[in-house]
Structure 1
Amino acid sequence: MPMTAPVRERPLSPHLQVWRWHLTMLTSILHRATGLALYAGAIIVAAWALSLGAGPQAYQVFVDIMASPLGRLVLVGLTLSLFYHLANGLRHLFWDAGLGLSPIASHQSGIMAMAFSVVATIIVWAIGLGPGGV
């Protein structure tokens, strides 16, 4: 019977012990998540276009789905994703120019990107649901 070396427990990746959570990590994760959400939004836009081409009944089904509480929640989420992805993309554009790279500046710009996305989403939906809106 051959002798084998004992199996040693391998350590976890060092990033789990070294890095502490900070806002820039969250903004990076949110940027990727909102990018994925925008792909889902593109599929919804394609479904809208297909329903338009399929006739009035198909379009009405699409409108009914999007006007449901779940449909509106998805649309609000997509609006929030669009504005966050835009704001964080602009943030990255400034970083590419060498601006705002200090920890304090990146923290502040992350807060501004999040605040902008929430405020812009509220404004768009207030206009859309207001008089003459949807």
Structure 2
Amino acid sequence: MDILPRPGSFAPTEMDGFFPQNHRGFTLLELIIVIAILGIISVTVVARYKGLKKEAATAHADSVFQTAQTTVARHFAKKLMGAISDNITSCADLVSYMTEDPTKAGWTCSGTNLKATIGGSAFEIRIKSAETSTSRAELCCTWESPNCPQCS
């Protein structure tokens, strides 16, 4: 049996024997199985996306905390060298010395607290103890992170 079209026709037909008589398309069961598999894949992707969103928010908060820690250390070093005489005692003091202003990224200052809500999660950096002439300010955070001490 030839699979070439008959003279005068452009494509093979069932009559030519090119298409098997018993297989004309997908069954309803096959389509349902494919849809179920696609549903499972999409649920997995959405769950992973939500996890990445939370990780990104925590990474941003960790970055702001590390910047604040560096600011406190740099400020205290300048103070020991006699370049400055004031202390970091409030959030406003801390933010004024930071190289990157976190309030431009949605963080707010209130007393000794620097707060933000990122991706639905709340983050807070606190001045645990203010800077003095003999010790630098201590900071803590309210979220779970190996990069910052927890506030008690």
Q: Which bracket does the TM-score occupy, shorter chain normalised? A: 0.3 to 0.5
TM-score w.r.t. the length of structure 1 is: 0.34
TM-score w.r.t. the length of structure 2 is: 0.31
Larger helix fraction of residues:
1
Name the larger-Rg structure.
2
